[in-house]
Each structure stands twice: as C-alpha cells, then as structure tokens.
Amino acid sequence: MPPPKAAVCDNTRPGPQEPPRGAVVVDPGRDGDLADKTAASPPGTTFWLAPGLHMLGRDRYAQVQPKDGNTYLGAPGTVLDGRRINQYAFAGTAHDVTIRHLTVQNFVAPRDEGVVNHDSGDGWVIEYNTVQHNGGAGLMAGARQQVRGNCLRANGQYGINAYQGAGRITGLVVEGNEIVGNNTDDWESQVEGCGCTGGVKFWAVNGADVRGNWVHDNRGTGLWADTNNNDFLIENNLIENNDGAAIIYETSYNAVITNNTIRRNNWVEGRMFADRGDNFPAATIYISESGGEPRVPARTGTLEIAGNLLQDNWSGITLWENADRFCNSPANTSTGNCTLLVPDTARCSRPGIATEPLRSDCRWKTQRVDIHDNRFELDPRTVGCETLCGRMAVLANYGTYPDWSPYHGDGVQRAITFEQGNRWRANTYAGPWTFLAGDTGTEVYFGHWQAAPYEQDQDSTYSPDSGGR
C-alpha cells in the first residue's frame, strides 16, 4: 500500500538554499537575531533563515513580532528552537504573514495557547513547516489562514487550536498536513472533562475546508469542532488510530463530511466507556447538538455525512442531543455562549424561553443530518471487543435540569429520533452492527431499524460478517 498522500513528517518540502533577492539574511547562533531584525525592518520584508539552530532570548516572552506582509523562509536544515524557555515563536496581530520551511520546536505555550500565530492574526500562510514538541498548540489560527503541507507533531495539547478571542474565524483552509501524536501532556487526565485535547480543535469558525490531511495517533479526538462553528467541508482525509473519536461536530451548524477514510479510531476511549459499564454509544463520528440550519448562511443547509469508509472503529455514528443543554442553562458546557439564532444569552431565560420562537431557537439541535452512501465495516476480533463497539445511534436523555427548563420529559428524545429530519439511507454494513434509537435502553437490530416506527437505512444493505477481511 502506498504511503498516505499527506505523509509529510520528516519529508516536508525543503526551502530555498540561497536567500531570495532582497531578503534579509538571518544567521544562526546569536540569541534574538530574528526578533531584532524583524523589529528593525519595514512591513513586507522577506527573511531568509540560514541553516542551523536559531534561538530567541533567554526571557520566557522573547518572541518574533512580525509586521504586516512579512515572509519567513527557512533554508534546508533551519530550526527555530525555544529551548523549553520561550513560550511563543511568532506572535502579534500582524496580517498576511507567511511562514515556510521552518522547524519550530521546544516552545512552552500554556494550555489553550499556541506557538505559531499565537495571537491569531488574519491572513497567515503557514506551509511546509515542522512544528513539533511544543507545549500548548503548535498553531493558532486567524481568518483566511491557510495551513498546508505541514508536519504538526507531538505537541502538548493540539496540532492546531483554531480559536480567535476577538471574533469568529472565517475562510480557514487546513490541507495536506500530517497531524500526529498530539496531546502529549494528556490534558484530559490533568483537567477531567476539559474537552481540550486532540489533533485539531475548532472554535467559532465560520467556513473551513479541511481536506487531504493525515490525522493519526493523537491522544484524544482527531478533528473536533466545538461551539458555533458553521459551514465546514471535511473531505478526503485519512483519520486513523486516534485514541478518541475521529470527528466530533458539537453545538455547531451546516457541514459536509465526505470521502474520508476513517479506521481504527476510538479504541482507547471506547474501551474506557465499556470497562466502567457506561453504555453510552461512544462514536467514531460524534454529532452532538449539531445539524443543518438553513437560517445560518452556509454552502449547505444540512449536515451531510456521505461517501466515507469507516473500518474497524470502536463504533459508528452517534447523533446526540442533550435535553438539558441549551443557551443559559447551567448544563451548557460552552459557558457563556448562546446559539447563532439567539446570540443574546439573557433572552434565553424564563419566562420567554418557554414560548416560541425562543423555545426552539435557544437550543442547539441535532437536525437535518443526512447519512448516506457510506460503508461501515467492523471485525470485532480486530477491534478486540465483544459488546458496545458496533453501534449506530440517534438518541437524547430525558430532560430534568434546571428546574425552569422548558425541555423536561421525553420531548427532545422524540424530536431527535422522529421529528428533526435525521436520516440514514443507502449505506453498506459489514459486521455485527446494532442500532440505538431514542435512548440507550432501546437497542434494535437491522430489520427493526428499517421498519416502523424508525424507518431508517432504506436502500441500505447489511451483512453480519465483516466482509471477508
């Protein structure tokens, strides 16, 4: 089998051996030379870093502060090393900065912060770099950022943390990168339930193309979009061997997830659920309070999952909606955030939330999810499990909290299962798959799943063996 298309680690595209005409040459060996020359040069300057080890000052906050339009090019063998002293490599809010052909390593950004583009400047182009062995995230992201052909390896928290505190990121491209072995600091074990680990985390991104990446062997989730993301295209990626889910799309809107190869994910976290007796369907593609919403402008008004191969993952696709999670609820783990339909959190309170349109619009809904033309393969011997590992699910909990919630009872369970346009169709199943509908206590087999009242997976095929593999 040929190597994955995005197998770029240790094989990134080399930079120019000689400085481009007009470039400022930065020689290795002198602390702070790159930062000093950046400060002394006008916007739009190109810097060529000669081969060797480049270092910043001895202060933890020593960093490069690019100016608008600057370009940083590394010659073959160029390394920018934080020496476990400096927190950030490239910081500030300059726009349209380009960084190519560098190895950036051994910086110690804190949790939820990043090393390259620390302050989420807009319009950055980050290509053909190796960003590895850093604390926090290897990269932060701004609007119109292009991240192509990089090796994002063994960083303490994420390969990329796509978060911009000042607003929503637009027009993000993440293409052809190898994103491997991140979350070396195992933050979930340090801050239980933080939801702050994995290959890439997206926060409030409005428009992202995530394609052609190799996302593998991360401790945690591969790709995680969390809280008011919208308009995502996730296509042609190879996502494999991640400890958690391959893809989580959470409290977000409107996406196409297509033509991905997704294999051997969620073995670690899925087995943790099983070992502690938790029968929640830990999924490989986990759609949590997310779906299509035509009132939020995007390239699609649905959440489409189509044409993917899912092979020997712990489970399949779970569509989930927490009845107690809504804007202004104490159960909303996206603290302080409201839906894109009602951005003013204060409106989602009693008594108004009990009547329309707030009763509908103060919730993130798992709705208009179209799952079709996928192939799901499962060999329990390969995964090493006997139960709880081959399930599809559409379900919610019984609403109980808080006491003023208008969503008490089984209304959300009925809605996600029967009323919100969630549909499996024209899929192929190979292996002993079962299906959960409504709640974790209702497990049905394929024939019942296809029949009333569920009527799912019309025009799909099911074979209880693993397809002869």
Q: Where are the alpha helices (DSSP H) in 157-287?
A: 187-190, 267-275
- Domain contains 381: yes
166 exposure class (CB count in 10 Å sphere: 0-12, 13-18, 19+)? exposed
- Domain contains 287: yes
Total domains in the chain come to 1
Peptide bond into 453 cis (omega under 30): yes
User: Which token pair is 16?
Assistant: 């120019």
Using one digit for the tens of pLDDT, what is the confidence trace for 377-420? 999 999 998 888 999 999 999 999 999 999 999 999 999 999 99
Using one digit for the tens of pLDDT, what is the confidence trace for 257-298? 999 999 999 999 999 999 999 999 999 999 999 999 999 999
What pLDDT does 3 receive?
67
Which single residue is written with the structure tokens 């195992």?
Answer: 186
- Domain contains 294: yes
User: Which token pair is 440?
Assistant: 């974790």
311 backbone dihedrals φ, ψ, rounded to 5°: -130, 120
Cα–Cα distance, 49 to 77 (Å, whole number): 10
Helix (H, G, I), strand (E, B) or coil at 33: helix
- Domain contains 33: no
What pLDDT does 469 receive?
46
- Domain contains 311: yes
**β-strand partners of 225:** 202, 249
pLDDT < 50: residue spans in the chain: 468-469
What pLDDT does 165 receive?
79
What CATH number is associated with residue 328?
A: 2.160.20
Q: What kind and span of H or E run contains 63?
A: none
Cα–Cα distance, 347 to 454 (Å, whole number): 35
Interacting residues of 341 by C-beta distance below 8 A, sequence separation 6+: 293, 295, 296, 361, 362
Cα–Cα distance, 51 to 214 (Å, whole number): 28
- Domain contains 41: no
The one-letter code for the residue type at 29 is G
User: In terms of residue numbers, what domain contains 348?
Assistant: 52-463
Cα–Cα distance, 456 to 287 (Å, whole number): 17
What pLDDT does 110 receive?
96
Cα–Cα distance, 238 to 241 (Å, whole number): 10
- Domain contains 35: no
- Domain contains 198: yes
Cα–Cα distance, 41 to 43 (Å, whole number): 7
What pLDDT does 468 receive?
45
